[in-house]
Structure 1
Amino acid sequence: MTNKILITGATGGLGSKVINLLKEKTEIKNLAVLVRDEKNELAKKYTLDGIKVKFGDYADIESLKNAFKGIDVLYFVSGGDDNLRSILHKNVVDAGIEAGVKHIIYTSAVWKDESDAAPLATLIDSHLQTENYIKASGITYTILRHNLYAEVIEMMLGDKRQILKTKTIYLPTANGLSSFVPKKDLAEAEVNIILNPSAYENKILEFNGSEKINFLEIAKKISEIVNEPIQYISPEVTEFKATMNTYGIPNQVIEILSKFSMAIANGEFDQQANDLETVLGRKTKSLSEYLKETYQ
C-alpha cells in the first residue's frame, strides 16, 4: 500500500524543493502539503497541480489534528523562533499521535556543544527537546540533523552587488570550518527517505556537505569568480556588533549573525559523518560550483 505523505514548510525553500521532486516520483494523489496562508502563491500553485493543500499552524493544535488525518508519513520541517520552537513542535508531535501518523521525518540540526554557554544553546535545546519527544511518542521516526545550508553563505555575505561594493567578508568566524550543503541536495536525499521510510526507521542521520570550508577560503573562491580581490576580516564579536550598529543593521540581525558566526568559529559545523552521501549515492554539489552559480 502506498503511503499518504504530508509535507510541512511547503512554501519554504527546502519544503518546496521536496514537493517538486516528489511530484516526479510518486502520484499526486499521495501528496498533501501544510500551509499557513491560503493566499500564498505557491499554495495556489499546489492546488492547480492537484496536490491536496491543508491549512494549519504549529501554534494551533486543532488545525494540525485535522490536517494530519489519513497521513502516514509526516515530513516535519522545524519552525518557530528559538524560544517557542519546542512548544510548537510538541503540538506537531501530539497532533501526529492523535491523528495516527505512522512515521515522522524531522529536520533537526547538527551540534557539538550542548552546554548553556554554547552560542546556539537555545536553538540546540529546542531541537534536542523535539527529538526526545518524537522518540518517546511511539511513532517511528527518522531524525535528520542538517549542517548549515549553502544558501546561508549569501545570507551572511550579501549578494554579488554587495560583495563588489565592500570587497570584504567581515564576520567573526575565525578559521572555523563548516560542511555547507545546498538545499537541493538535502531535498533529493530526503525524498529518498520519504518514499522509503521503513529503511530509515528510528534512525538519526547527520546530513553534512561533502566538503569543509572556512570563510577565508570562501573569500578566495569568490575573488576568482568576480575577478576582484575580496579580503576576509574576522573581528572580535564585540567589534563586529559595534561596526554593524554603525551601519544601522537591526539588532536582531546582528545577534543572529553573531551567534552563528561564533558557532562556526567554535567548530559546531565542522562535522564528519557522511550519511548524506550514503543516502544520495554521490557527493554533494561542490562548493566551488555552488559559489560560481551564486556569484557569477
Structure 2
Amino acid sequence: MGKILITGVTGHLGGAVLNKLLAKVPASEVRILVRDEAKATAFKPLGVEIALGTYDDKASLVAAFKGIDKLYFVSGNDVANRGPQHENVVQAATEAKVGHVVYTSFQRKNESDTAPLAFLAATHLLAEKLLKASGLTYTILEHALYAEVIPMFAGEKVLETGVIFQPAGDGKTAFALREDLAEAGVAVLTGEGHENRSYELTGPKALSYADIAALISAASGKNITYVSPTVEVFKAELTKAGVPAIYIDLFAGFSGAIKDGEFAGVTDDLEKLIGRKGGSVEAYVKSVYGK
C-alpha cells in the first residue's frame, strides 16, 4: 500500500481516522498535515510523517501531497473561506498527482440555493464538483449529522429546563456516531473498489426531536419534552437569551433542514463499509445523560 495522508488530525473526526488507521497500517505509511510546529509536537511520538501546511497555502499543500497515494480530505471549518480553500486542496492534489482523494461531505436531499443549509452546502458541493472534474480518482463520503451534536441542539441546560426547543417540526435525522464515520473512512482508505463512488453514511434509524426527548427522559429519569416553535419565535427567544445571531441562524438552518427531511434518509452504506450496524443513538444518549 502507498502512503496515506490525513488532514484535520487536530479535530475530532480526523483524529479518530488517524488512530483507527494506525491500528491497521504501519506509521511509516502515514503522513499527516498540520498547521504549524506547535501542533505537530503532540503527534511526533506516533512515528508518522508530519507535513506543515494550510488549506490557504496551495504551495504548502503541493509539497505535503507529493508521493501520496490516498488523501483523506476533511472539509474546512472556516465557512467564509472554505470555497477557495477547497479549490486549493483539489488543485494541489492534482499537481502532486495524488492517487485517490477521499472527501468528507454531507448528507442532503435538496442541493438548490433555497435549501435551509445552502450557505453551508455550497462549498461541499463545490469540492465534489471540482473533484469529479479534476480527473482524480475520488470517493465522496456523505456524512449524516453526528450523534455528538445532540447535546448542542438539545441545549446545554435541557435537564434543567426540561425542554428541547427547536423549530424542526416532526422532521427526523439518521444520526451517525463520529467514530463509525471515521471507521468507514479508514475502510475506504485501506480497501479496494471504492473508486469514483459516493456513499451516504447514516445511522441505522431516523429519529425526531420528540424521540430524542424520550431517550433523554429515559436516560436521565427527568421528564423532557420537545417544543417546536415557529422560526420567528425561536429566533426571538434565543435573541432574548443573548445567543449570538450567527449561532441562532445556524440552529435555525439545521432545524429547517431537519424539518424538510434533509437528514431523514437511512442507507446501509455505513454498515457495509464497517461490517456491522452503526452504533445506536440510544446508547450514546444514555452515555451522556445516564444517571
1:200 alignment partner, SS class:
coil
Percent sequence identity is 45
1:128 corresponds to which of 125, 130, 146: 125
Aligned residue number for residue 177 of structure 2? 182
| Shift in CA distance, 214/37, structure 1 to aligned 2, threshold 3 Å | farther
Q: What's the Cα RMSD here?
A: 1.2
What's the offset of the Cα at 1:122? 2.4
Say which SS state the counterpart of residue 187 (structure 1) adopts: helix
CA distance in 2 between counterparts of 1:178 and 1:233 reads: 17
Which one is further off, 77-86 or 213-222?
A: 77-86
Q: Distance in 2 between matches of 1:5 and 1:189?
A: 15
Cα shift at 1:45:
2.3
State the match for 1:163 in structure 2.
158
Q: Is the 8 A contact 1:144 1:207 kept in 2?
A: yes
Residue correspondences, number: 290
Q: Which residue of 1 aligns with 2:111?
A: 114
Q: Is the 8 A contact 2:183 2:274 kept in 1?
A: yes
Instruction: Give the aligned partner of residue 61 of structure 1.
Output: 58
Give the CA deviation at 1:85: 2.0
Secondary structure at the counterpart of residue 207 of structure 2: coil
Structure-to-structure mapping, 1:207-226, within 5 angstroms: 207-226=201-220
Residue among 250, 264, 273 paired with 1:270: 264
Cα pair distance change 1:266/1:12, threshold 3 Å:
same
Given the alignment, which residue of 186, 192, 198 partners 2:187? Answer: 192
Measured after TM superposition, the shift of residue 9 of structure 1 is 0.6
Matched, 1:144 2:138: no
- Give the corresponding residue for 1:20: 19
Instruction: Give distance in 1, aligned partners of 2:52 and 2:41.
Output: 12
1:81 deviates by 3.6
Matched, 1:154 2:148: no
Q: Do the aligned partners of 1:83 and 1:122 also contact (CA within 8 Å) in 2?
A: no
Does the alignment pair 1:173 with 2:168?
yes
The secondary structure found in structure 1 opposite 2:193 is helix
Residue type of the partner of 1:177?
K
Compute the displacement of 1:241 (Å): 0.5
For 1:149, the aligned partner's letter is Y
Question: Following TM superposition, by how much is the alpha carbon of 1:80 offset from its aligned partner in structure 2, in angstroms?
Answer: 3.6
Distance 1:175 1:36 in 2: 42
Work out which of the residue numbers 235, 239, 264 in structure 1 matches 2:233: 239
Deviation at 1:272, TM superposition (A): 3.0
Counterpart Cα distance in 2 of 1:36 and 1:240: 38
Are 2:44 and 1:47 aligned? yes
Q: Distance in 1 between matches of 2:280 and 2:149?
A: 15
C-alpha separation between the residues in 1 aligned to 2:9 and 2:78? Answer: 18
Following superposition, the deviation at residue 115 of structure 1 comes to 2.0
Asked if structure 2 preserves the Cα contact closer than 8 Å seen for 1:46 and 1:52, the reply is: no
| Amino acid in structure 1 at the alignment position of 2:230 | E
Partner SS for 1:84: helix
Secondary structure at 1:248 match in 2: coil
TM-score normalized by the length of structure 1: 0.95
- Unaligned regions of 5+ residues in structure 2, if any? none
Residue type matched to 1:164 in 2?
L
Number of the residue aligned with 2:5? 6
**Code of the aligned partner of 2:165:** Y
User: Any gaps of 5 or more consecutive residues in structure 1?
Assistant: none
- Corresponding residue for residue 287 of structure 1: 281
Give the letter aligned to residue 222 of structure 2: E
* 1:7-43 deviations in Å (ceiling 9; x for gaps): 0011101110011111111000001111114323xx3
Cα shift at 1:245: 0.7
TM-score with structure 2 setting the length: 0.96
Say yes or no: does 1:35 pair with 2:60: no
Report Cα offsets for 1:99-143 as digits up to 9, x if no partner.
Answer: 110100000111111222111112222212211110111111111
